[in-house]
Chain A
Amino acid sequence: MSTAEALVLPATRTSVTWRLLRSELALTFRRPRNLVMMAILAAVPIIIGVVIRLVGSEGDAGGMIAQTAGNSLMLTVVSLFVLVPLLMPVAVAVVAGDAIAGEAGTGTLRYLLTAPAGRGRLLAVKYLNAVLFGLALTLTVATAALLTGLVLFPAGDVTLLSGTTISLGEGLLRVLAMVGYVAAGMAALAAVAVALSTFTEVAIGAIAATVVLIIVTQVLRAIPQLDWLAPYLLPTRWTGFDGLLRDPVPMSEIWQSLLAFGAYIVLFCSLAWARFTGKDITS
């Protein structure tokens, strides 16, 4: 047993971070709670699809329902539209709000830090993990919706909101872009939740605070007198993925939303970092 060997760093910083991230991902994607959440959200498109199949065939239902019944791709859009305002953010908040507070609550945080994971690295890994969970969740929902759509509804050209028709291939590309957009929106929320998570030792507190914040911003958004505030609120930006269904695609608005997500990420990650690197770990 050579004690000197302990001081030799075996690999580069990135490979060390990557190993910790893998461990983190394994923890997240093996945790029954998270898997149940993903399964429930993946079930939503299936339920919507079956309901539309039953209702939509009963004659002249208008708008989205008719479009969904008419094209297999539209179920993905409808499902995202239903899940993005509340349910997906809540699921992301559960994972991201748990990030630091959960470890503090079980006491494992002190062992991770003496291991030593390094505070900056641990925070980065925790945040990346939440971002990847958001992406995986969006992909799961989109995939479930796509498969359900293909089984229940005819495949073919897609009608955009502007009334233009595009090919199925381009439609798929646009759905992929939507997944990216929604995942970016969830990444912005994850930054908020991780920041809140560094301020408490009770995971449920950070999660609840994030969910309350989502609901409050949704309410603020609905108040006409506060319209000037709406563009700065995350929920307003989340549903902006419908821009990808217009012709021409309003790229400037989409870039603005992505910039807004970026601003949230920078602000809240730096807050989390400032808090976490200076925090006394007494749990």
Chain B
Amino acid sequence: MTVESPAELTVRAPERAPAAPPAAEDPAGGAAIVTRGLTKRFRGGQVAVDGLDLTVPAGSVFGFLGPNGSGKTTTIRMLLGLVAPTGGTHELLGLPLARALPAVGAVVEGPAFYPYLSGSANLLRFDAANPAASGRDAARRVGRALERVGLSAAAGKRYRAYSLGMRQRLAIAAALLTPRRLLVLDEPTNGLDPQGTREVRALVKEIAGDGTTVFVSSHLLAEVEQMCTHAGIMSHGRLVAHGTLTELHAGRSARLRVETPDLAHAAGILASLGLADVRAAGEEVTAELGEHAPDRVNAELVRQGVAVRGLAVARPSLEEVFVGLTGEGFDVDG
């Protein structure tokens, strides 16, 4: 897990080889998104993104994490050409932006549609704006996209009358109008009910299964943990961690938890075995496991007469990694 050499992370590139991208078209060597020193300083001096070096391997599902105001949306806007970077470069699918965009579906900062149009009329409108989509089979494409997000029944309803979850689904449907090589989703599960969240997760998996790269920003760490192969963590406009999920976890060692009434005794033994950060609280003693084998530790405890009621090894969650990197504080980045 390192920020300095993101290139080495791309080694663990897709096992699910993407169906389409011809190698000749991809000078970035299988990377769907590459940024180098990408920087955005807003008028007024606010640095929203600061020297971002990001490589998103083709075929990966990349979770883009970070606290509020850490620069996720700004990065996505720069990638899509909505905001001009004040420094650095970026490339999508190894193509010039105008040629890449037809192959990129995007949800940026929530849904936005014409309130006086129906769901399908809205999709037809955005389909008409895509130079790579032909008008002839537009209706069929729109129907299929609505079906994929479960909105077929509400296709004729005015957008004004949609619920938050329906709007979010419609935004995803718009991103899926034509076959895409890259999907950029900025908080796609925002406002969805548990079923909706599950469906989106399933959808993302299905899309990724077709070889499409998915770049998804989210706050829901459990979400990311379940659907992503890679993740990057933003803090104050900088990328503080970046790699496969395994790599991200690797940086933090597991903790051993021993349930026992003999707190002081057990703690003493663990310390004497060389386990770090030994803490005793309630009916439990915990310590960092490090390189020690849990079964050996258990045997030692029992040998010295500690009444072990339970023993467990807890791997750190992504949340702990996240909080460890971005801090516990509740204040937003700004």
Contact = CB atoms under 8 A, between A and B. Distances in A.
Is any CB of A less than 8 Å from a CB of B in the complex?
A: yes
Given A111-B174, A281-B77, A281-B82, A7 B102 contact: yes
Interface string A111-139: 11111111001100000000000000000
B112 A107 contact: yes
B132 to A, nearest CB: 6
A1 interface: yes
Contacts of B181: 3, 6
Interface in B282-313: none
B203 to A, nearest CB: 14
Contacts of B110: 107
B131 A113 contact: no
Nearest to B101: A116
Contacts of A8: 132
B178 interface: yes
Interface string B173-189: 01000111100000000
Contacts of A9: 131-132
A16 to B, nearest CB: 4
Contacts of A4: 20, 22
A13 B128 CA distance: 13
A106 B112 CA distance: 6
Interface in A151-176: none
B99 A281 contact: no
In this complex, the interface size class of chain A, counting residues with CB under 8 Å from chain B, is 35 or more
Given A3-B103, A23-B125, A280-B83, A118 B131 contact: yes
B20 A2 contact: yes
Contacts of A281: 77, 82-83
Interface in B111-157: 112-117, 124-135
A115 B103 CA distance: 9
Interface of chain B, main secondary structure: loop
A53 interface: no
Interface in B53-102: 77, 80-84, 98-99, 101-102
Contact of B77 (A19, A111, A282): A282
Contact of B132 (A10, A13, A22, A32): A10
A114 B130 CA distance: 9
Given A108-B113, A110-B108, A113-B82, A1 B131 contact: no
B21 interface: yes
A20 interface: yes
A5 interface: yes
B132 A7 contact: yes
B179 A2 contact: yes
Contacts of A11: 134
Nearest to A22: B128
B326 to A, nearest CB: 24
Contacts of A7: 99, 102-103, 132
Given A1-B179, A114-B101, A115-B126, 17 more contacts: A1-B210, A2-B19, A2-B179, A3-B181, A5-B179, A6-B180, A6-B181, A7-B99, A10-B134, A19-B135, A108-B113, A108-B114, A114-B108, A115-B129, A117-B129, A118-B98, A281-B82
